[in-house]
Amino acid sequence: MGSIPPTFGNLTKLTTLYLYRNQFSGYLPRELGYLVNLQMLDLSTNKLMGSIHDSFGGLISLIGMYLWDNQLSWKVPPELGYLVNLEDLELNKNQLSGCIPRELGKLANLKALNLGKNNLVGSIPNFFGNSSKLTTMFLADNQFSGYIPQEIGFLVNLQRLDVSTNKLIGSIPDIFGNLTKLTTLQLSYNQLFGQAPREIGTLMDLELLQLDGNNISGHLPPELCAGGWLKNLTASDNNLNGQLPSSLIHCRSLVRVCLERNQIEGYISALGVHPNLVYMDMISNKLFGQLSYTWGQCRNLLMLRISNNNHTGRIPASMGRLSQIGLLDLSSDKLEGNIHCW
């Protein structure tokens, strides 16, 4: 506990400073910016407050800066753009405000950028399209507005992108089809509209796709799960219509599907053959037809909600085999019969 001593600035040969997960409080010492040989700085998960000093631009050897989970405020200093060796910048879970400074676009070696859970505003800068080594970009839980820049589609090494819970508008850029290494795409809780581009379905390594809480319309991409790795598909509270993509029939990796409160039509019987399925929520759509006996094969299923649709016929006896299920909601439909326990 207590504050970080300013005298640390005299340790000019220091290459690593780890003070994370303590109870340090008070302000960041400006003197830390004098540590020109410092390569790793980790002060995360403390109670530090105040601003990130412009003197930190003097940490010319720095590779990793971890200041996340503190109470830092004010702006991201443009002087951080001088840190030409920086590969990992994590300032998430603070109270930083203002816009992202253009100088961060000079960080040609940057691989991971995490500015999530702050109070940052303005648009997402298009200069990040020059950061060709980026593999992770987390900008979620801020106040970013405007359009998603097309230039993000140039980040061919990007694996994880999270810009959820902002105020972004416009459509999802179809150039995202260039992000062939993408495993995680999180765009939930913005004001995005238009159709989800078909190109997203061609991302062979995609494991998680979250589009919840937007105004996305039209059909889901017909090639979804083209690579066979999709585990988590959530797009609740949109204006999606049409039938579920037939490609999902072969997507045996699916664990979670949440598409509630849309206008999706047709049958969902095919999803009952997925052995790894754990959560399925399709309430308040326009699904119809009989439920397939194959739902009894989903032995890992914990939650199945398909209420407020137009299903008819008898409840399959095989549903009695779902021994792990904790929530089963078939209400407000036209089903009949009993569920038999095996």
pLDDT in tens, 259-313: 999 999 988 765 656 778 999 999 999 999 888 888 888 888 999 999 999 988 8
Q: Which residue's structure tokens are 């959530």?
A: 234
The secondary structure of residue 123, as a DSSP letter, is B
Question: Under CATH, domain 1-120 is a member of which superfamily?
Answer: Ribonuclease Inhibitor (3.80.10.10)
Q: Percentage of the chain surpassing pLDDT 90?
A: 79
Contact 305, 260 (CB under 8 A): yes
- Strand residues in 228-268 grouped as ranges (E): 232-234, 239-243, 256-258, 263-266
pLDDT at 19 over 70: yes
How many C-beta atoms lie closer than 10 Å to residue 251's C-beta? 22
Mean pLDDT of 199-214: 96
> Is the CA virtual torsion 71, 77, 79, 85 positive or negative?
positive
Contact 124, 149 (CB under 8 A): yes
Cα separation, 114 vs 111, whole angstroms: 10
pLDDT (0 to 100) of residue 271: 66
Cα separation, 152 vs 340, whole angstroms: 52
Q: Is 1 exposed, middle or buried (0-12, 13-18, 19+ CB in 10 A)?
A: exposed
Contact 125, 149 (CB under 8 A): yes
